[in-house]
Copies of this chain bind each other. A is one copy, B any other.
Amino acid sequence: MGKAEANKQHKRESLLNTAFELFTTKGINNTSISDIVEAAGVAKGTFYLYFKDKYDINSKLVVHRATMLFDSALERMHQQDLTDPKDRILFVVNDIIDALTKDKVLLMFISKNLGLGFSRFMMESPSVTGEEPVVEATKEFLKDIGGSISDPRLMMYMIIELTGSSIYSAILYDQPVSIEELKPHLYAAITSIIDQFTIK
């Protein structure tokens, strides 16, 4: 019935949100399932109706938040009138950077969990995590720019890795420079990489 179903979903989301709150505040190692259920206001046994353990809820969380981040960047990109692949890539990169600059907690959470696996998450089937993938969107994205690029997957990989790894410290600690100072250099480097892969 609809009511019970809604209640179930509500419990599940309550647990997810509470876990995110605690994981980002105290760290996953210092967060016990007791902490989560207590803060979420459900019984201990209820946790196990929805998740296998602490790491299960964590991975579901990562996929969920990273997917949302990427999807909304793509959505906004489609609202623009951009045709040049270079422009589209830079728009998406810039949009994600801005989102993460505004939500540093999310940045820390994603960085800690996806770490060096960020690009794999976006380009391949996330079999580990087992939830709806960003893959579809990424495939389309790659198809669009496919014509003029020699090896689109490799190019995207390098761009994502460079971006993902260099913005972390800049956004959070202004190290070695602030994110605003980093941006022109980063975009220049990305442009170089795109040129490098462009079939002339």
Quick check: which of A12-20, A97-105, A109-117, A127-135 contacts chain B, the rest being far away?
Answer: A109-117
A196 partner residues in chain B, CB cutoff 8 A: 185, 188-189, 192
State how many angstroms separate the Cβ of A21 from the closest Cβ of chain B.
Answer: 21
A189 partner residues in chain B, CB cutoff 8 A: 158, 162, 189, 192-193, 196
Q: Would A116 and B111 count as touching, CB distance under 8 A?
A: yes
- A-side interface mostly: helix
Query: For chain A residues 150-173, which have a beta carbon within 8 Å of chain B?
Result: 151, 153-154, 157-158, 161-162, 164-166, 168-169
Name the residue on B nearest A156 (C-beta).
Answer: B176
Tell me if A42 is interfacial: C-beta within 8 Å of chain B.
Answer: no
A95 to B193, CA, bound (A): 23
Indicate which residue in B153, B162, B169 contacts A176 across the interface (CB closer than 8 Å): B153
The 4 closest A-B pairs by CB, nearest first: A192-B192, A165-B165, A161-B165, A161-B166
Tell me if A92 is interfacial: C-beta within 8 Å of chain B.
Answer: no
Tell me if A175 is interfacial: C-beta within 8 Å of chain B.
Answer: yes
Q: A189-B196, A192-B192 are in contact. List 20 more A-B contacts (CB 8 A).
A: A111-B115, A112-B115, A115-B115, A116-B116, A116-B165, A119-B169, A120-B169, A120-B175, A154-B176, A154-B185, A157-B169, A158-B162, A158-B166, A158-B186, A162-B189, A164-B165, A185-B196, A185-B197, A189-B189, A192-B193
A164 to B119, CA, bound (A): 13
Q: Would B168 and A165 count as touching, CB distance under 8 A?
A: no
Tell me if A106 is interfacial: C-beta within 8 Å of chain B.
Answer: no
A83 partner residues in chain B, CB cutoff 8 A: none
Tell me if A43 is interfacial: C-beta within 8 Å of chain B.
Answer: no
Q: A161-B162, A196-B189 are in contact. Are A117 and B154 (CB under 8 A)?
A: no
A115 to B164, CA, bound (A): 11
A196 to B189, CA, bound (A): 8
